[in-house]
């Protein structure tokens, strides 16, 4: 309980300095960049908005459904991986306006559809009930709690006596709802593992009706023309916590601070927005691209989950409701972008995976609310050093790299101990058992064609790897040596830094000599023992450009292949598999022809690393035209796209697609070396 109370204070304190912008851009300039209404053609099931790491949030019902007019959809809630995203109710707080006329109480029906506005950090709804204008605003006020402000404005010409009812039913399959006081109730869900507390205005009276159904009567008030009646409700949701813990957290909220909560929300979100949009890059001069960047920011923050259960630090899930945990390399990619506008969350995102580092040094595939759901069978591509370097360069926080370096060095050493079968300094993907899928998962490329026919070899007890050295894996490791060396120098460890730099130079030469095919002008994986190249032309071949491992001549040859219309250079030149391969399937299957934003970024960044600025600029500008919905208002940002048509595919509201959108649009204002 004490830990959760401290978390709330910490989050509210951090909210004042997480954004560094000067304030040119405002929340109100970015309305409905995402459509989360039920019935929206692209995502008819709707979605939710969350903030500050809350594990719950709200959405919008279909505005044509008048039976649900007068409140937000939800709350939605998340928890363990198997729970996914669930809805407590279609509308747990449904507002009814009451007018007192003499001794009679008359319900005033809403007129027409509700107007919905989803702003960065805030949901708004506007309705009309006779002469009464009704405005609702919902925000997060801590990492466990949300607030809804209700404003009733008399637009008539006469004084009216106006009150209200709030009513609802917890319809989630095993919800258990009960009164806690005359104006608050508690709800247990998912076998009572997770708990809600909802409180209503002090001048209200709560009555429990049928099972899981309540009605709250809010006292009437005289309203002269033009005057308003404002009241608030608060909801706390604590995953992996008892009802007593949820009540204790809820009791830290203060109704008298309601206006302050709203002001803090505006200040914090405009800080985030301006931290990105005030960066001086050519891409952020466009209104369309600015909206794309803010949409990406909103997507990342709705996927933000705070420390809870067995999770010691906060992070961003890839797509809540689809991917309900923290994956290693997703986390590191998120952190690189978060460092631009929410650096404290970026640091926590890095810590989250390392909290579960094994004694040998391995960082496991994913971590979840409950440790029993963690996936410990493999690791993920080693880009943690890259991400830590990006966070450090954008924050200057030496204490952070002092904290992270011992863990990063241990992880780096683990790779060479447990994933280098012949100990030749070139690593392979693998797992804790001789099962090929573990190595595929560890690669992050899952069913990539280049892994067809691989075998698993035993390196040590509980350590196996492919009979194939991967080009991208060793490129990541090569650059990581330089990232680690730079950070070691920053804290004064010149000796260890020099050793790593020497290792990096040696490995870079090995990659240039052993993984590049001059005849085809591309980098490939190579087989153990024979050194035979696995000549599948796919996205992994341009990672040496991203990590600045290639020679200038090799980089030019790779770029030529990337733009070759017979290989990648058709609809958009960043397909995960070349178009003429017989297994190219852009409409299904991972890494068989889909376009991914992370590898698109790796390609464009690689071109910049070698001075191919004209093409890097051209294809950055083409992105929102080619990848459907990426920058268009309303559309969710997708996990990947069909490389032949640009149609969005698989998960919606996806984290790393959002992270790399922000990096592509804003990072050109950075002045530090990309690979030191």
Q: Average pLDDT of 251-256?
A: 96
Q: How far apart are CA 329 and CA 294, in angstroms?
A: 23
The whole-number pLDDT of residue 86 equals: 98
Boundary (domain end) residue, out of 242, 269, 296? 269
Kindly state whether residues 291 and 200 are assigned to the same domain: no
Per-residue pLDDT at 143 exceeds 80: yes
- Residue percentage of the chain with pLDDT more than 90: 94
Range of the domain at 397: 279-669
Is position 674 within any domain?
A: no
The whole-number pLDDT of residue 41 equals: 93
Kindly state whether residues 227 and 300 are assigned to the same domain: no
Q: Average pLDDT of 430-446?
A: 97
Kindly state whether residues 236 and 316 are assigned to the same domain: no
Is position 452 within any domain?
A: yes
For 32-70, the pLDDT digits (tens) are 999 999 999 999 999 999 999 999 999 999 998 988 999
CATH number of residue 483's parent domain: 1.50.10.10
pLDDT band at 6 (very low <50, low <70, confident <90, very high): very low
Tokens in use for 271?
């800080």
Kindly state whether residues 327 and 231 are assigned to the same domain: no
Kindly state whether residues 326 and 435 are assigned to the same domain: yes
Q: Average pLDDT of 359-364?
A: 98
Per-residue pLDDT at 167 exceeds 60: yes
Torsion of CA 409, 414, 415, 417, to 10 degrees: 130
Q: Is residue 538 helix, strand or coil?
A: strand
Is position 587 within any domain?
A: yes
Sign of the CA dihedral running 264, 265, 268, 270: negative
pLDDT band at 2 (very low <50, low <70, confident <90, very high): very low
Partner residues linked to 118 by β-bridges: 123
Q: For tokens 């813990």, name the residue.
A: 245
The whole-number pLDDT of residue 444 equals: 97
Q: Average pLDDT of 521-531?
A: 97
Tokens in use for 357?
């580092």
**In contact, 288 and 299? CB cutoff 8 Å:** no
Residue 581, burial from CB neighbour count under 10 angstroms (0-12, 13-18, 19+) = middle
Per-residue pLDDT at 4 exceeds 70: no
Q: Average pLDDT of 521-541?
A: 98
The whole-number pLDDT of residue 588 equals: 87
For 594-616, the pLDDT digits (tens) are 999 999 999 999 999 999 999 99
Kindly state whether residues 260 and 344 are assigned to the same domain: no
For 463-498, the pLDDT digits (tens) are 999 999 999 999 999 999 999 999 999 999 999 999
CA distances from 204 to 9, 153, 261 (A): 28, 19, 22
Is position 676 within any domain?
A: no
Q: How far apart are CA 423 and CA 410, in angstroms?
A: 17
Per-residue pLDDT at 99 exceeds 70: yes
Q: Average pLDDT of 81-90?
A: 97
pLDDT band at 22 (very low <50, low <70, confident <90, very high): low
Kindly state whether residues 235 and 89 are assigned to the same domain: yes
Q: How far apart are CA 333 and CA 387, in angstroms?
A: 7
Buried b (16+ CB within 10 A) or exposed e, 505-536: eebbebbbebbbbeebbbbbbbebeeeebbeb
Query: Total domain count for the chain?
Result: 2
CATH number of residue 90's parent domain: 2.70.98.50
Q: Average pLDDT of 552-559?
A: 98
Boundary (domain end) residue, out of 215, 235, 269? 269
Kindly state whether residues 170 and 311 are assigned to the same domain: no
Is position 274 within any domain?
A: no
């Amino acid at each position: 309980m004490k830990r959760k109370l401290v978390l709330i204070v910490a989050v509210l304190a951090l909210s004042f300095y997480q954004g560094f912008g000067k304030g040119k851009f405002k929340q109100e300039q970015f309305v409905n960049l995402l459509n989360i209404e039920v019935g929206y053609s692209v995502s008819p099931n709707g979605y939710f908005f969350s903030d500050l790491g809350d594990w719950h949030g709200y959405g919008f019902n279909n505005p044509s459904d008048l039976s649900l007019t007068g409140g937000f959809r939800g709350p939605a809630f998340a928890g363990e991986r198997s729970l996914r995203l669930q809805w407590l109710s279609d509308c747990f707080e449904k507002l009814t306006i009451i007018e007192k006329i003499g001794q009679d109480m008359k319900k005033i029906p809403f007129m027409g559809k509700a107007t919905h506005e989803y702003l960065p950090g805030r949901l708004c709804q506007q309705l009309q009930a006779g002469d009464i204008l009704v405005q609702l605003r919902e925000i997060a006020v801590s990492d466990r709690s949300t607030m809804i402000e209700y404003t009733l404005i008399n637009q008539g010409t006469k004084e009216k006596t106006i009150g209200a009812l709030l009513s609802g039913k917890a319809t989630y399959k095993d919800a258990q709802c009960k009164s806690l006081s005359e104006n608050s109730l508690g709800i247990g869900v998912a076998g009572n593992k997770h708990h809600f507390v909802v409180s209503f205005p002090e001048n209200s009276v709560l009555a429990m009706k049928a099972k899981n159904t309540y009605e709250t009567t809010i006292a009437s008030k005289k309203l002269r023309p033009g005057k308003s009646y404002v009241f608030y409700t608060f909801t706390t949701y604590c995953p992996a916590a008892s009802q007593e813990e949820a009540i204790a957290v809820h009791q830290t909220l203060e109704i008298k601070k309601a206006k302050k909560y709203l002001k803090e929300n505006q200040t914090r979100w405009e800080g985030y927005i301006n931290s990105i949009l005030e960066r001086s890059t050519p891409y952020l001069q466009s209104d369309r691209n600015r909206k794309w960047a803010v949409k990406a920011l909103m997507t990342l923050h709705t996927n933000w989950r705070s420390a809870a259960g067995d999770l010691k630090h906060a992070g961003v899930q890839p797509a809540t409701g689809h991917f309900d945990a923290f994956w290693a390399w997703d986390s590191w990619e998120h952190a690189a972008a978060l460092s631009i506008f929410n650096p404290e969350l970026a640091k926590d995102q890095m810590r989250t995976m390392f909290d579960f580092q094994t004694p040998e040094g391995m960082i496991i595939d994913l971590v979840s609310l409950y440790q029993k759901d963690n996936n410990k069978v493999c690791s993920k591509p080693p880009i943690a050093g890259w991400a830590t370097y990006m966070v450090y360069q954008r924050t200057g926080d030496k204490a952070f790299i002092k904290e992270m370096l011992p863990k990063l060095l241990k992880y780096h050493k683990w790779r060479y101990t447990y994933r280098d079968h012949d100990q030749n300094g070139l690593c392979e993907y693998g797992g804790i058992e001789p099962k090929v899928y573990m190595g595929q998962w560890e690669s992050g490329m899952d069913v990539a064609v280049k892994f067809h026919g691989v075998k698993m070899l035993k390196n040590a007890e509980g350590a196996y790897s492919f009979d194939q050295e991967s080009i991208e894996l060793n490129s990541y490791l090569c650059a990581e040596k330089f990232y680690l060396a730079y950070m070691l120098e920053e804290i004064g460890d010149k000796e260890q830094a020099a050793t790593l730099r020497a290792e990096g130079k040696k490995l870079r030469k090995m990659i240039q000599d052993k993984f590049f095919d001059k005849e085809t002008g591309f980098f490939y994986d190579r087989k153990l023992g024979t050194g035979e190249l696995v000549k599948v032309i796919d996205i992994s071949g341009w990672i040496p450009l991203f990590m600045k491992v290639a020679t200038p001549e090799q980089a030019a040859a790779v770029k030529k292949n990337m733009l070759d219309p017979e290989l990648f250079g058709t609809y958009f030149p960043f397909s995960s598999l070349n178009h003429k391969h017989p297994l190219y399937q852009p409409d299904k299957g991972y890494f068989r022809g889909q376009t991914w934003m992370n590898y698109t970024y790796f390609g464009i960044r690689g071109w910049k690393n070698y001075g191919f600025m004209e093409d890097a600029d051209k294809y950055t500008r083409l992105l929102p035209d080619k990848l459907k919905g990426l920058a268009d208002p309303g559309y969710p940002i997708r996990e990947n796209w069909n490389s032949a048509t640009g149609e969005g595919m698989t998960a919606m509201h996806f984290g790393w697609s959002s992270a790399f959108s922000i990096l592509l649009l804003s990072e050109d204002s950075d002045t530090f070396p990309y690979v030191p």
